[in-house]
């Protein structure tokens, strides 16, 4: 895993070099100032920040800064990139966690239901539902949600909070314990704010979870169908176990093995998916930060987001491997 | 055959499967009785309906299978009419089953102990601790070395023979009165086969259960059983005492099966083979189901379906040419020498 991380930093660093030293300077100096200075001054600045040094030395320095948590200045965030990411992270994590509930709940539950009632009308209905879900891209579905539920009935407005709530949240009396809007609202006993935050987050949750639960459903269904045909399921039935126990104990644990891979990749995918969803719903978070950084060619922020998502990817895969071993004794390490 | 009251009576059992191509009559009228402590062999090729018969008794058919006709009476109660919960209290408790593939019949994600104790706690109302002690005892009884250690291992840590022993331990865990063994040795190599058969015979003496032994291997049948049913195309073609079936087979199919086994006491250049393969269940001939592969088949065989005739006391055969077979067999045997 450390090797993978070093590999990631190498790739990220190499990609930066495509931009050339002039652009790279914007990581250290305000872009407005850069426009006004002369070429000589620019060269001096490049020397000052070591942009004319040989590549390996610059990589070493960059890596050193990275270890210290210094990723440069974010134009979009108007603060250091690390700070910008840390400030936006809770919003994104909150959204991703909430989105997981319908994904895992509905996806796995419906998948198992469909498998048990294989080829019945329940199964057919669930399959049609999943197919529609899987075929609908989130950027289309998000706009549909906005059209109906914001423009139409004003149930699920965009952004993180309404303006009045935002003012209260930023005031001194309001304690931000976890930085999660909904949880902080409950801890501050401001149920009006909780309600407001909930209204703002439901649209993005539906949009984000829609595609993934449909996908998870299909995986769960086919995996469950396969397991239900296995000999050991017949053995379990031959023992006299009730059907409920056969399914919940013997079948489910085996059927979850492929689902874990997908679910793990899905958690990773959720963090990538926020780029679209947060942009559509105009929510503060890592995703919109990355999208805006890309639009404004704010390379330090782009690299920061890239590094961040690589870390999520690597950690996510590690968690997948660990949960594999927990479920399947055959891959447990001695 | 013993004079005891049979614990299992199967009367005119029919098991059909709904498929896209039509109704498959996998079992089409099987009758037999099983007495306590005896071993009945059901013999036949793949697709003869022998496994379906056993699954019908356990009511473990796939969802497209159903029993349109016939009775399965276990201790005076009709299995086909039992409620699901009654059926569950029979499964594993009174009638237990072991399967062909020990590699896949055990759940890979639970330990051997967990899988054995499950049935014990369910049927014998024991607590976990006592159940585990019993599981270790059972594993010792079926000849698994270091049972205390094995009980906490997963199936993949055991060899095929060991797994089949564990399956037997699981089946015997609640002292069943009937054990159905569906080709229990087919997936094992020959030396392990012999060990498992020996073990089953010993356990039968100790536990006193009746065994229904399903196999395609006539050698195994001779070793294990008291009586045999030979099945072809979902029907009984010959049924009787094992000695009678061996010495005086009265159906060309049985005779063909016997002759296709290499024998150490007779020197033959070529082994006899039954021509052709078992037809698809939807394409059996109209008359006698074996007529398209039978060396005795006449026109009558192709149009008229023979009934199960009594040859002598408790020996039955479903053939129009029982007498002709005796003569033919003499000729063939004379030709061999």
pLDDT digits (tens, 9 = 90+) for A312-333: 888 888 888 888 888 888 876 5
- pLDDT value at B8 more than 60: yes
Cβ contact A330–B154 (<8 Å): yes
Q: Which one has a higher pLDDT value, B264 or A249? A: A249
Residue A171 domain-assigned?
A: yes
pLDDT confidence tier of residue B2, bands split at 50, 70 and 90:
very low
At B180-219, the pLDDT tens digits run 999 888 888 888 888 888 889 999 998 889 999 998 888 7
**Predicted local distance difference test score (pLDDT) of residue B300:** 86
Cβ contact A231–B170 (<8 Å): no
Q: In this complex, which of B60, B63, B123 lies closest to A238 when CB atoms are compared?
A: B60
Give the pairing type, strands B178-182 and B95-98.
Answer: parallel
The residue in chain A having the minimum alpha-carbon distance to the alpha carbon of residue B101 is A231
Cβ contact A239–B118 (<8 Å): yes
Cβ contact A239–B58 (<8 Å): no
A204 contacts: CB under 8 Å, gap ≥ 6: A95, A99, A142, A277, A278, A280, A281, A283
pLDDT confidence tier of residue A28, bands split at 50, 70 and 90:
low
The residue in chain B having the minimum alpha-carbon distance to the alpha carbon of residue A227 is B107
Residues A95, A154, single domain; the answer is: yes
Name beta bridge partners: B71. B11
Q: Chain A closest CA to B21's CA: distance in Å?
A: 17
**Predicted local distance difference test score (pLDDT) of residue B138:** 92
**Predicted local distance difference test score (pLDDT) of residue B94:** 93
**Predicted local distance difference test score (pLDDT) of residue B1:** 46
At B169-179, the pLDDT tens digits run 999 899 899 99
Residue A333 domain-assigned?
A: no
Give the pairing type, strands B95-98 and B309-312.
Answer: unpaired
Residues A154, A269, single domain; the answer is: yes
Q: Is A117 helix (H, G, I), strand (E, B) or coil?
A: coil
Q: Chain A closest CA to B259's CA: distance in Å?
A: 33
- Tell me which residue has tokens 């104790």: B117
pLDDT confidence tier of residue B337, bands split at 50, 70 and 90:
very low
Residues A42, A99, single domain; the answer is: no
Residues A209, A233, single domain; the answer is: yes
Residue A6 domain-assigned?
A: yes
Q: Final residue of a domain: which of A70, A99, A129?
A: A70
The DSSP H or E segment spanning B214 is strand B210-215
Q: Which residues of A touch B99 (CB under 8 A)?
A: 231, 234-235
Q: Which residues of B touch A118 (CB under 8 A)?
A: 63
**Predicted local distance difference test score (pLDDT) of residue A26:** 67
Q: Which of A228-232, A266-270, B191-195 has the lowest mean pLDDT?
A: A266-270
Cβ contact A238–B92 (<8 Å): yes
Cβ contact A240–B170 (<8 Å): no
**pLDDT, average across residues A44-68:** 81
Hey, what are B63's tokens? 């969802």
Residues A49, A165, single domain; the answer is: no
Q: Which residues of B touch A242 (CB under 8 A)?
A: 88
Q: Chain A closest CA to B162's CA: distance in Å?
A: 16
Measured distance CA(A312)–CA(A319) in Å, rounded: 10
Residue A75 domain-assigned?
A: no
Cβ contact A232–B154 (<8 Å): no
Q: Which of A231, A238, A245 to mutate to test the interface with B (most CBs of B within 10 A)?
A: A238
Cβ contact B90–A234 (<8 Å): no
Residues A321, A177, single domain; the answer is: yes
Measured distance CA(A242)–CA(A249) in Å, rounded: 10
**Predicted local distance difference test score (pLDDT) of residue B313:** 80
Decide if A12 contacts A306 (C-beta within 8 A): yes
- pLDDT value at A23 more than 90: no
Cβ contact A231–B92 (<8 Å): no
Residues A156, A13, single domain; the answer is: no
Measured at the CA of A206, the angle between CA A202 and CA A274, to 5 degrees, comes to: 90
Cβ contact B89–A240 (<8 Å): yes
**pLDDT, average across residues B299-325:** 86
Decide if A136 contacts A211 (C-beta within 8 A): yes
Q: Which of B59, B74, B84, B108 to mutate to test the interface with A (most CBs of A within 10 A)?
A: B108
Q: In this complex, which of A230, A238, A329 lies closest to B91 when CB atoms are compared?
A: A238
Q: Show the domain range for A116.
A: 80-327
Chain A and chain B share a number of CB contacts under 8 A equal to 69
**pLDDT, average across residues A175-203:** 83
Residues A186, A50, single domain; the answer is: no
Cβ contact A231–B104 (<8 Å): yes
Residue A234 domain-assigned?
A: yes
Residues A29, A133, single domain; the answer is: no
Cβ contact B91–A235 (<8 Å): no
The residue in chain A having the minimum alpha-carbon distance to the alpha carbon of residue B172 is A239
Residue A120 domain-assigned?
A: yes
**Predicted local distance difference test score (pLDDT) of residue A140:** 85
Residues A58, A127, single domain; the answer is: no
Measured distance CA(A316)–CA(A219) in Å, rounded: 19
Percent of chain B with pLDDT over 90: 39
Decide if B123 contacts B134 (C-beta within 8 A): no
Q: Final residue of a domain: which of A37, A70, A103?
A: A70
Looking up residue A310, the CATH number of its domain turns out to be 1.10.3720.10
pLDDT confidence tier of residue A30, bands split at 50, 70 and 90:
low
Decide if B289 contacts B297 (C-beta within 8 A): no
- pLDDT value at B147 more than 90: yes
Residues A44, A185, single domain; the answer is: no
Q: Which of A119, A237, A240 to mutate to test the interface with B (most CBs of B within 10 A)?
A: A240
Domain count, chain A: 2
Measured distance CA(B59)–CA(A136) in Å, rounded: 44
pLDDT confidence tier of residue B13, bands split at 50, 70 and 90:
very high
Q: In this complex, which of B92, B105, B108 lies closest to A240 when CB atoms are compared?
A: B92
Measured distance CA(B23)–CA(B259) in Å, rounded: 34
- Model's pTM, two decimal places? 0.78
Q: Which residues of A touch B156 (CB under 8 A)?
A: 329-330
- pLDDT value at B3 more than 60: no
Q: Final residue of a domain: which of A15, A42, A70?
A: A70
Residue A145 domain-assigned?
A: yes
Measured at the CA of A61, the angle between CA A19 and CA A300, to 5 degrees, comes to: 40
Q: What string of H, E and C letters represents the secondary structure of A236-253?
A: HHHCCCCHHHHHHHHHHH
Residue A233 domain-assigned?
A: yes
Residues A40, A150, single domain; the answer is: no
**pLDDT, average across residues B226-232:** 92
**Predicted local distance difference test score (pLDDT) of residue B214:** 92
Decide if A77 contacts A83 (C-beta within 8 A): yes
């Amino acid at each position: 895993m450390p090797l993978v991380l070093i590999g990631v930093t190498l790739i990220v660093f190499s990609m930066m070099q495509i931009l050339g030293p002039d652009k790279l300077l914007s990581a250290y100096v305000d872009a407005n100032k850069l426009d006004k200075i002369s070429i000589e001054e620019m060269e001096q600045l490049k020397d000052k920040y070591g942009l004319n040094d040989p590549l390996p030395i610059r990589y070493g320095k960059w890596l050193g800064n990275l270890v210290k948590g210094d990723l440069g200045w974010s134009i979009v965030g108007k603060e250091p990139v690390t700070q910008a990411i840390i400030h936006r992270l809770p919003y994104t994590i909150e959204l991703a966690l909430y989105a997981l509930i319908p994904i895992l709940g509905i996806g796995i539950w419906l998948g198992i239901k469909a498998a048990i009632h294989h080829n019945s009308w329940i199964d057919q209905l669930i399959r049609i539902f999943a197919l529609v879900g899987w075929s609908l891209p989130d950027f289309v579905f998000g706009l549909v949600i906005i059209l109906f539920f914001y423009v139409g009935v004003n149930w699920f407005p965009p952004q993180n909070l309404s303006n009045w709530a935002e003012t209260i949240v930023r005031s001194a009396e309001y304690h931000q314990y976890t930085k999660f809007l909904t949880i902080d609202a409950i801890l501050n006993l401001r149920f009006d704010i909780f309600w407001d935050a909930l209204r703002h987050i439901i649209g993005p949750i539906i949009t984000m979870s829609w595609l993934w639960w449909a996908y998870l459903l299909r995986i769960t269904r086919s995996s469950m169908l396969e397991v239900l045909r296995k000999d050991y399921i017949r053995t379990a039935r031959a023992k006299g176990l009730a059907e409920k126990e056969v399914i919940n104990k013997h079948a489910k644990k085996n059927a979850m093995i492929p689902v874990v891979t997908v679910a793990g990749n899905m958690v990773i995918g959720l963090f990538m998916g926020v780029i679209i969803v947060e942009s559509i719903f105009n929510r503060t978070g890592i995703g919109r930060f990355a999208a805006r950084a890309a639009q404004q060619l704010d390379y330090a922020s782009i690299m920061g987001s890239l590094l961040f998502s690589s870390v999520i990817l690597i950690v996510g895969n590690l968690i997948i491997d660990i949960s594999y071993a927990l479920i399947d004794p055959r891959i447990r390490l001695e | 055959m013993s004079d005891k009251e049979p614990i299992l009576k199967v009367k005119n059992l029919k098991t059909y499967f709904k498929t896209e191509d039509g109704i498959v009559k996998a079992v089409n009228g099987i009758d037999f009785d099983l007495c306590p402590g005896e071993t009945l062999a059901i013999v036949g090729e793949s697709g003869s309906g022998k496994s379906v018969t056993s699954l019908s008794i356990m009511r473990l058919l796939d969802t497209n299978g159903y029993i349109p006709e016939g009775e399965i009476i276990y201790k005076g109660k009709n299995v086909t009419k039992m409620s699901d919960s009654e059926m569950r209290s029979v499964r594993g408790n009174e009638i237990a089953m072991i399967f062909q593939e020990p590699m896949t019949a055990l759940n890979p994600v639970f330990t051997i102990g967990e899988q054995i104790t499950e049935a014990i706690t369910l049927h014998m109302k024991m607590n976990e601790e006592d159940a585990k002690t019993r599981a270790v005892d059972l594993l010792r009884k079926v000849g698994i070395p270091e049972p205390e250690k094995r009980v906490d291992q997963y199936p993949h840590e055991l060899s095929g023979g060991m797994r089949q022993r564990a399956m037997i331990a699981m089946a015997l865990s609640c002292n069943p009165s009937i054990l159905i063994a569906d080709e229990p040795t087919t997936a094992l190599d020959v030396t392990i086969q012999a060990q498992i058969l020996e073990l089953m015979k010993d356990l039968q003496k100790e536990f006193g259960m009746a065994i229904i032994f399903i196999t395609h291997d006539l050698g195994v049948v001779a070793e294990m059983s008291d009586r045999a049913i030979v099945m072809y195309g979902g029907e009984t073609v010959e049924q009787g005492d094992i000695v009678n079936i061996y010495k005086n087979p009265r159906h060309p199919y049985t005779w063909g099966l016997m002759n296709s086994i290499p024998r150490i006491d007779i020197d033959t250049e070529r082994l006899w083979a039954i021509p052709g393969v078992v037809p698809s269940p939807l394409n059996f001939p109209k008359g006698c189901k074996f007529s398209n592969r039978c060396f005795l088949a006449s026109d009558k065989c192709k149009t008229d379906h023979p009934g199960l005739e009594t040859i002598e006391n408790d020996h039955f055969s479903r053939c129009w040419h029982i007498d002709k077979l005796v003569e033919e067999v003499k000729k063939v045997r004379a030709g061999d020498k």
